[in-house]
Structure 1
Amino acid sequence: MNFSSLWRGKTPRLTTTLAVLTLSTLSSALVAAPLDKADIKFIGPIAADMQLKPYQTEHQDAIINALLPSIQQPTTSITVFGEKLKWQTLDKVNALTLGGLQALKFTTHAERFSQGTLTLKGIEKAQLFINGEKQTATKESYELALPQGDHQIVIIAEQVANWHDVDVDFEPKAAIDRLTFSNKEQHGLSAKQLFDATTVSSLSLAPDAKHYLVAKRHYQDSTGNQANVITELKNDDNQIVYRFESGQPSNIIWSPDNNYLVYLLDGKLKQLNRKTLNLKVIANNLEGAGDFAYYDNNSLIFSWSKSPAADNSLTKHYQGLQDRWSYARTTSQAYLLDISTGLSKALSQGPLSHSIEDFNSKRGTVLLSRGVQVMQASTHPTTELVELNIANASNTVIGQFTTFNQAKYTGDDIYVTAGPDFKDGLGRNLPENMLANNYDGQLYLLTDHGKNAVPLSREFDPAIGQLEVLANGDALVKVTEQDTIALYLYDKSKQRFSKLKTGFDVVEQFSYSNNRSPAILVSGSNASSPQQLKQLSINKNTATTLWDSKPQAYANTDIASLDEFNFTNTAGVEIKGRVYFPSNLDKNKHYPALVYYYGGTSPVTRGFTGRYPFNLWAEHGYVVYVVQPTGATGFGQQFSAKHVNAWGQYTADDIMQGTQALLKQYPFIDKNRLGNLGASYGGFMTMLLTTKTDMFSASIAHAGISNITSYWGHGWWGYLYSGEASKNSYPWNNSELYSQHSPVFHADKVTTPLLLLHGDADTNVPVGESHTMYTALKLLGKDVDLIEYKGADHQIFARDQRFNWWDTMLAYFDKHLKEQPQWWQYLYPEK
C-alpha cells in the first residue's frame, strides 16, 4: 500500500525531544528497538464501562472509524460520554489493565523514503492507522513504506493484558531507512491537507446582500474519490438559515424581488421562500436544461440542450472538424419558463446552437450568440451576436466577430470581451509587424446597436476574463494580472479601471448584489496562505473575512517561505518569478531545485494549492522556482504576442536564463541537481528543453506535445489553439515551424532523463504525443519512462490518481536529484 497520502492537518512536527531509530542507535545488525514511551501519547480508558469491545460486535470497523477523527485532533483532551479524558505520555501510564478502549498516537518523520517494520508488543487486539488510513498487520507487525515528511500513527487498542509489557518497536529495512519519532503536534504540509481540506466550491450572493449561499467541499478516506459537499444558506450575520446536506442544489438564482431562491435538485427546479423557507417545485423533466436566470419576477430564461440519439451504425461519417467532439451534434436553444405553471416556450430555433449572453426584461430583449455555420472549418470561427425581441420574435444582428468571448448589456450599450483583433484589430496595442495573441482578453463597448465600438482596455495590461455588470452600468471584471487573478471595477462614466482590494493573490469565484451599495462575495487564496471567503464593499473597497480554512485545515502546519525573484533577459525584458523554500531551510546546505512554467498561454498563478503543489514540493526538500516566461497573458499585449508562431523560441531561452540567474542569486541551490517540469504546452516545453540543454538532471512532461503537426490535426481543439499559437502557419506553408520546433525531430539530442505522464483518455493533447516521444527515445537508447493514468483526460482529478500522480513526480525527482531511487522502485518495481 502507498502511504504517501499524508495525514490531513494533524501530523506532529519534530522538536528537540526525539527518539531517533537509525543504525547509529542499533547494533551492526538491523534489529528492532523500542520507541521511547515519552514520545508516545496515550489516552484512556475510553468508555471504561464498555461491556463489549468493538471486536466483539458486528460493527467493529464502524465504531473505531467514528472514534478516529477525535483521536487525530491536536487537542489536550477529549470528552467521551460526558467524561473528560486528558492525553498523557505512555511512560506515565502505570496500570495492568484498563477498561474500554485506549489510544496511542505519535509522529514519525522520514528524512527520505523509508521502509521498515513496526511491531506492537503486549497489545493483543488493536487497529493501527497511518495518516488516517487503516493498516493490515501480519501477526502484530506492520510494514511501513513512508515518503519524506511527517506521518501520524494512531493505535486504538481494544485488549491489553498488562500495560507494563506494552512496547512499540521499529526495525528499519536497511541502513538508509531512518525514522524519527516524537509526540509533538507541529508538522509539515501534507498532500492530504492540500487535497482533502474544506474549500468553497460555489457561492452566490442575494441581490439585496441579506443572504448568501455557499457550498463547501472536502474529501476523506472513507469516501475516497467522492467529494463531501454541504451547501448552506446564511444571513448577513453569517448565521445558518437553511442547510442542504444530501442532495446538492445547482444553478442557484435569486428572484429580483428578493423573495425567492431557485435551484435545480434531483432533476427538479425548486423554489425556496426566503422568509418562510417553504418549498415549491416549479418544473420537472428538465434534462439538458441549465443556465437559469430570472427574466422577471414571473418567468425564468434558460438554455435547453438536446443531444442526438445514439448512433449504433458500423461507421461514422465525419462532416466537419467538430465531428471529432463528442458533443458536436448537441444543440442548445434559449427558452422562457413561466414560474406559476411550469410552461416553457422556445425563443430560438434551427440547426445552430444559441447561447444566452444577457437579457433586458424592461425592453423585452435577449442577447444571443451563435456560430455562423454548423460545421465551419476555420481556425478562427465566426460568432454572430444577435438581439432577439421576444414580443415579435425578430432578430437584429449586432455583428459577426472572429474573436468573441462574452457580451453584457450596460444601459443602451453592450460590453463585449474579446481578443485584440476584435473588429479588425480595434483592441490592438502592438507594432504593425506583430500578430496579436487573442487569448489576451480585452474589453469593448458597443454603441448604437453595434454600429460603433470603443476599445476600453487597450492601454490596460491585465487580460480580461469574466465580465459582470452592476445595476449602475459599471463593469466588474476578473482579470489575469501578471501571476495574480484580480477583480477590477470599470467605471463607465469616468472611463477608468480601479482594482478592488480583495486581499487575495488569486480570486477564484465571486458574486455581487444589486442594491445601492453593492457588495461582492468572493473566495480566493494567496501563494502562502489557503482559501478564505470574504465580503467586500465596492463603495468602501474594504473586505471582511467570513470564513478561513487555515485554522480548520492547516493548524500547526509549517508552510514554505516565499521570495519574489525577477530577472532581465538578454532582450532587456523583465521576467517575473517566485521561489518557494523548504520551511526548515538551512542556507549552509545544498538543495535540489525544481523549475516550473506555464501551459497554454496563461501564467502560473499564485494559488495556495492546485494541480501542481509548489508548497508541497518545498516541504519535500526542494527549492521551487516558478518562472513566467515570454508569451504569457497578463503582462501586456507585446509580451503575450510573442507566444504566436514561436513554439518555445523565446520561452526556452527565458527558462534557461532564469535558471542560471536563480543559481547566482541563491548559492545554496545545487546546480547539479536541477529538475524541470510542465504540463500541456508546459509539457511541450519540457520535451523541447531536453533537446536544447543539459542543465537539468531530470525532466517531467505531463500531457506534452511532441509533434506540433499531429497535435494540430488530432487534438480535439488542436487546430483552434494552433490558430493563435501558429497563426496563419500550416504544415504546407511553414513546415519548418511544425517540424523544427517539434521535440521529436530533435530526439537524438536528448541527454536528460525524461518522465512522460499522460491520461490515456486525453482529448486535448492525445496520449499519442507522449507515445511518439517515448518511441523515439527508446529506439535511441535514452533514459525515458512513460506512465499513463487510466481513464484520465487532460488533467488528473480523481483523488486516488491525484495522490499517485503527486507521488510519482516526487519519487522520480528523488531518484534523480537526491540519489534516492527507493520510492520510485517501491511505486514501480521492476518486473
Structure 2
Amino acid sequence: MMFTTTWLSKRARLKTALSAVALCTLTSTAMAAAIDKSAIQFIGPLSDDMQLKPYQTEHRDAIIANLLPHLQKNTSRVRVFGDEQDWQAFDKVSALTLGGLQALKFTASAERFSQGKLSLKGIENAQLFINGEKQTEKDKTYELALSQGDHQIVIITEQVPNWHDVAIDFEAKSEESALTFSAKEQHGLSAKQLFDAPTISYISMSPNGAHFLTSTRHYDDKSANQALYVTELKNAKNKTIYRFESAQPSNITWSPDGSSLVYLIEGELKRLNLETLQLTVIAKHLAGANGFQFYNNDSLIFSWSKSPSDDGKLTKHYQGLQDRWSYARTTSQVYLLDISTGLSKILSQGPLSHSLEDFDAQQGVVLMSRSAQAMNRSPEPATELVELNIASATSNVLGQFKTFNQAKYTDDGIYVTAGPDFRDGLGRNLPEGMLANNYDGQLYLLSRDGKKATALSKEFDPAIGQLTVLANGDALLKVTEQDTVQLYQYDLSKKRFNNVNTGFDVVEQFSFSDERNPTLLVTGTTASTPQQLKQLTVGKSRTKVLWDSTPISYQHTDIAALEEFNFINPEGVEIKGRVYLPHNIDKSKQYPALVYYYGGTSPVTRGFTGRYPFNLWAEHGYVVYVIQPTGATGFGQEFSAKHVNAWGEYTANDIINGTRAFLNQYPFVDSKRVGNLGASYGGFMTMLLATKTDMFSASIAHAGISNITSYWGQGWWGYLYSAEASKNSYPWNNPQLYSQHSPVFHADKVTTPLLLLHGDSDTNVPVGESHNMYTALKLLGKDVDLIEYKGADHQIFARDKRFDWWNTMLAYFDKNLKDQPQWWQYLYPEK
C-alpha cells in the first residue's frame, strides 16, 4: 500500500511520453503470444479513492460507458475528479496494485481481414471495447474479427491483483490473420468516422443577418439507427444564445424584421422572441402542414396536405399512372394563417394539388404550380404556373409547361428553372436533330403576365438546380458544374453569371440575409476534406470558417491522396475522372483497383463521403477510379443530350476506354484485379458492361435495371424517367432499344463474377430487376450472388444496414480481387 500511495502522489507521478511508436506483429497459430507492453498505453489510477468498483454496483455498464469516450480521445492526459493522469507506455508501469480504475489502450492494425482470440491474463474484472463497441468475453477471452485497417482497443480494468502478472495475448486463427499492435495515434479512415461524425444538416440565416440557426446531426453506438440532433440559435458573433436538444424544430422561418423565429415542434407552431427568448404558441393541430413563411408581419403562408383515409375496400381501382405512387391521392393546398389568433384560410382551390412557388405581399399575389390535368387524364402531366390575387380571389394561368422545376418573383418578372425544352425549346443549345435532356436545368425570365420568356443560360454549361432570389433581384443558384456543386449569382442587370467562391468542391446547403451586401452561410466539402460551415459576403472572396468537423472527428486520420485523371474518348470529347490512392501506397508494388460510375443524368460529385465512400475504399488498399461518362449534366447540353435514347451506348464505351487509359497511366494497378460497381443507373451499367467486356475481375450492381421494359412499367417513376432516357420511344415503336439494351437479354455473354445488391422494398427500381438477372445467370451456371436488404428502399440509409452494406461490398472484392475470401465467408458462411 505504501507503494500505491507513492504512485498516487502528484509530485511523484510519472510524466513519461511515448517517444516512439512501438510495433508488435503477431501471427502465431501454434500458441498464443503476448503483445509487447511497449505497444500498449496505460493510464491510472482513475479515482483511486473509489469505495466500490463499478462491477460492485448496479450501474456498472453506465459508469464504464460514460468514461469510455474520454479514454478514446487522442489526448495525453485525462482529468478525473480534479486529478490529472497521463497516458504512458505500459512497460514503464511498476506498480503491483492500484486503486480506482485503470485503462489500457492500443491499436490493432490488420493488413487484411483477420480473426483470432485476445486473452487477458492477470485481470479479474474488465470491459473491452473495439472501436467503441463493447465486446463479449468468455473466460477472459475475446473473439476478434477485424477488417483491414486500424482498430482502437480500449480495456477498462476494475480488479487487478498484481500488475506484474498482467499480459494480453493474441492467438491468430490462421497464418494470414496478421495483426500489428502499436500505440500510434495516427490511423486510417474508418467507416464509423464517415457515418457517425457530426455534420451540419440544416442552416438558416435571419433576414437582417443578426442571427442564424444550425442543426448538427451525429450517430453513436447507443443511438444506433436513430440520429442525434442539436439545433442552436447563434448571434452574428457565432455565440450560442438558445439551444434545442430534447426535441428538434422544423419548418423554421424568420419574421421580416428578424426579431422573432417561428417553427414547428412536437406538433405545435411556436414563436420565439429573439430579444426576450419568450415563447408563444401560435397554433396546434397542424398535421400535414409544412413550408411556413412570413407572408407579412401578421400572417404566415404555408402548404397543408391531406391524405385520404383508408376506405376499407379490398381493392384499389387505379385512376391513372401516377396512382402507382403511395402519395398520389394526397392533395395539398396553400393557406394563410393569422399569427394572433391561429386562424387559417385557404387560398388555392379545386381538386388539383397546388405547390407554393413564391409570393409578393406588397402586390398581394401568390405564385403556385399545379398539374395541368386531373390524374386520370394526364399520363405525362404538364405543369401550370398560376398567379393568385388574394384580394380579388382571382387566378391567372401564366403558362402550361412540359418541363418545369421552380419559379420565383424578381423585380423584372419571374425566374423559372426548367429543362431546355421549356416554351417549345426556348433553352435548347444543341445541334439540329438532337433531343434535349430536360434534367439539364436552365434559367429563364418570364414576364409577369406570362406572355414573354427569355432564355438566360443557353451558353452556361452548368446544370441549374436550386433557385433563390437576393434582395436586389439577382438570382442565387446552386448548380452542377462538371463533378462539382457550386453557387452562382446571376446578375440581372449585367446579364451574366458570377461564381460565388466558397472554396468547396460540393456546396451542400446555403442561406443568406436580405441586406444590400448579403451575408451568406454555406456548408460543404471537398473530395479530400470533411464538412465545414463558412460565412462570406456575396460579391467578395473572403470567407470565414465557423465550424469544422476535422478537429472534431478526423484528427490523426490518414486520407487518400487524390489525383485528376482525364482522357479523350474516340469522339474527341474529354472525359473527366479522378483517382484516389491509398495513403501509404508503394508504387513498386501491384494494387487492385475499383472503377465507379453512375452513367445516368448526373455526375458523381466530389463529396468527401456519401453512400459510396471512395476514401474508405482507398484506405482498404484499392486504387479507386471515378469516371464521369457521356450523358451527365454539368458539362453542357450536348454532352447531357447523349443520354437520351442511348441506354448505356456511349456510357459503356467511355467506361471501357477510360479504364484502359487508367490502367495505362497507373502501371502499379494490376490489370487482372480490377473491379467495377455502380448503383441504380450505375447498377444497370454494371450489368450491361458484364455483357460487353471481360476486362473486370469482379462486378457489383446495386439496385440496377436489368430489363428496361419492366422498369418502365413497374418502377414508381419508371415511365417518367423514361420520358427523357427513352424520349418518344416505347416498347411498341422501338423494341430494339428496350430489348437489345437490356442486360438480361444478353445474360449468356456474362463471364465476370457478379454480385447483385437490392433493397427488398425498393419502389424506384423494383427488386425484380435483380431477380431477372439472378435467375438468368443461375440458369446459365454463371458466378452470381444476390443479397437483399430487408425493409430497404432504393438507398441504404439505416446505420446498421449501411455498415453491413459497405462491408459486403469490400468483402466481395477482397475475395475476388485479393484472393482473400475469409471476410466474405465470415459474413456469408456456406451452409
> TM-score, normalized by length of structure 1?
0.97
The answer to whether 1:22 aligns with 2:66 is no
* TM-fit CA distance, 1:449: 1.2
The answer to whether 1:272 aligns with 2:293 is no
CA contact (8 A) 2:357 2:369 kept: yes
1:383 paired residue number: 383
Q: Map 1:191-230; keep pairs closer than 5 Å.
A: 191-230=191-230
Deviations 1:190-242 (A, max 9, x none): 00000000000101001011100000001000110011100000011110010
CA contact (8 A) 2:319 2:376 kept: no
2:455 paired residue number: 455
The answer to whether 1:584 aligns with 2:584 is yes
Letter in 1 for 2:554: Y
* TM-fit CA distance, 1:90: 1.1
Q: Map 1:672-821; keep pairs closer than 5 Å.
A: 672-821=672-821
Q: Secondary structure at the match of 1:318?
A: coil
Structure ranking higher on relative contact order (CA contacts 8 Å, 6+ apart): 1
Q: Which moved more, 1:312-321 or 1:56-65?
A: 312-321
Task: Identify if the C-alpha distance between structure 1 residues 614 and 377 changes in structure 2 by more than 3 Å, giving closer, same or farther.
Answer: farther
* TM-fit CA distance, 1:738: 0.2
Which whole-Å CA distance do the structure 1 matches of 2:548 and 2:809 have between them? 30
CA contact (8 A) 2:414 2:448 kept: no
1:241 paired residue number: 241
CA contact (8 A) 1:14 1:184 kept: no
* TM-fit CA distance, 1:822: 0.2
2:507 paired residue number: 507
Letter in 2 for 1:567: F
* TM-fit CA distance, 1:541: 3.3
The answer to whether 1:465 aligns with 2:470 is no
2:7 paired residue number: none
1:308 paired residue number: 308
Q: Map 1:143-154; keep pairs closer than 5 Å.
A: 143-154=143-154
Letter in 1 for 2:150: D
Which whole-Å CA distance do the structure 1 matches of 2:377 and 2:322 have between them? 8
* TM-fit CA distance, 1:336: 0.2
The answer to whether 1:548 aligns with 2:548 is yes
Deviations 1:690-733 (A, max 9, x none): 00000000000000000000000000000000000000000000
* TM-fit CA distance, 1:539: 3.0
Which whole-Å CA distance do the structure 1 matches of 2:377 and 2:830 have between them? 48
Letter in 2 for 1:709: T
* TM-fit CA distance, 1:17: 2.7
Q: Map 1:67-216; keep pairs closer than 5 Å.
A: 67-216=67-216
Q: Secondary structure at the match of 2:638?
A: helix
* TM-fit CA distance, 1:379: 6.2
Q: Secondary structure at the match of 1:223?
A: coil
2:532 paired residue number: 532
Q: Map 1:473-622; keep pairs closer than 5 Å.
A: 473-598=473-598, 600-622=600-622
CA contact (8 A) 2:298 2:340 kept: yes
Q: Secondary structure at the match of 2:373?
A: coil
CA contact (8 A) 2:74 2:185 kept: yes
Task: Identify if the C-alpha distance between structure 1 residues 259 and 474 changes in structure 2 by more than 3 Å, giving closer, same or farther.
Answer: same
Letter in 1 for 2:335: Y
Which whole-Å CA distance do the structure 2 matches of 1:389 and 1:412 have between them? 18
Q: Secondary structure at the match of 1:530?
A: coil
Which whole-Å CA distance do the structure 2 matches of 1:72 and 1:81 have between them? 18
Which whole-Å CA distance do the structure 2 matches of 1:90 and 1:636 have between them? 61
Which whole-Å CA distance do the structure 2 matches of 1:450 and 1:542 have between them? 39
Q: Map 1:255-294; keep pairs closer than 5 Å.
A: 255-294=255-294
CA contact (8 A) 1:232 1:242 kept: yes
Deviations 1:360-414 (A, max 9, x none): 0000000010001121565642000010000011001100000000000001400
Which whole-Å CA distance do the structure 2 matches of 1:205 and 1:806 have between them? 36
Q: Secondary structure at the match of 1:20?
A: strand
CA contact (8 A) 2:679 2:701 kept: yes
Deviations 1:306-347 (A, max 9, x none): 000013211111121111111010000000000011000000
* TM-fit CA distance, 1:516: 1.5
CA contact (8 A) 2:599 2:631 kept: no
Letter in 2 for 1:729: S
2:653 paired residue number: 653
Letter in 2 for 1:488: Y
* TM-fit CA distance, 1:22: 2.0
Q: Secondary structure at the match of 2:375?
A: coil
CA contact (8 A) 1:417 1:467 kept: yes
Which whole-Å CA distance do the structure 2 matches of 1:22 and 1:68 have between them? 29
Letter in 2 for 1:21: L
Letter in 2 for 1:36: D
Letter in 1 for 2:703: A
Letter in 2 for 1:358: D
Q: Secondary structure at the match of 2:649?
A: coil
Letter in 2 for 1:596: Y
Deviations 1:72-116 (A, max 9, x none): 000000000000000111111112211111100100000000000
1:5 paired residue number: none
1:40 paired residue number: 40
Q: Secondary structure at the match of 1:221?
A: coil
Q: Secondary structure at the match of 1:117?
A: strand
1:57 paired residue number: 57
2:431 paired residue number: 431
Q: Which runs of 5+ in 1 are unaligned?
A: 1-12, 24-28
CA contact (8 A) 1:321 1:377 kept: no
Which whole-Å CA distance do the structure 1 matches of 2:780 and 2:539 have between them? 64
CA contact (8 A) 2:304 2:334 kept: yes
Q: Secondary structure at the match of 1:472?
A: coil
Deviations 1:432-490 (A, max 9, x none): 21000000000000014111100000000000000000111000000000000000000
* TM-fit CA distance, 1:16: 5.9
Which whole-Å CA distance do the structure 2 matches of 1:382 and 1:244 have between them? 42
* TM-fit CA distance, 1:542: 2.4
2:295 paired residue number: 295
Deviations 1:598-645 (A, max 9, x none): 153110000000000000000000000000000000000000000000
CA contact (8 A) 1:128 1:156 kept: yes
Which whole-Å CA distance do the structure 2 matches of 1:581 and 1:312 have between them? 58
The answer to whether 1:409 aligns with 2:409 is yes
CA contact (8 A) 1:135 1:142 kept: yes
* TM-fit CA distance, 1:30: 1.8
CA contact (8 A) 1:215 1:231 kept: yes
CA contact (8 A) 1:289 1:304 kept: yes
Deviations 1:659-713 (A, max 9, x none): 0000110100000000000000000000000000000000000000000000000
CA contact (8 A) 1:370 1:383 kept: yes
1:6 paired residue number: none
Which whole-Å CA distance do the structure 2 matches of 1:459 and 1:252 have between them? 37
2:422 paired residue number: 422
Letter in 1 for 2:27: T
Q: Which moved more, 1:447-456 or 1:498-507?
A: 447-456
CA contact (8 A) 1:379 1:723 kept: no
Which whole-Å CA distance do the structure 2 matches of 1:649 and 1:420 have between them? 23
CA contact (8 A) 2:210 2:258 kept: no
1:4 paired residue number: none
* TM-fit CA distance, 1:743: 0.2
The answer to whether 1:445 aligns with 2:450 is no
1:26 paired residue number: none
Which whole-Å CA distance do the structure 1 matches of 2:676 and 2:463 have between them? 27
Which whole-Å CA distance do the structure 2 matches of 1:658 and 1:561 have between them? 20
CA contact (8 A) 2:40 2:89 kept: yes
Which whole-Å CA distance do the structure 2 matches of 1:30 and 1:288 have between them? 65
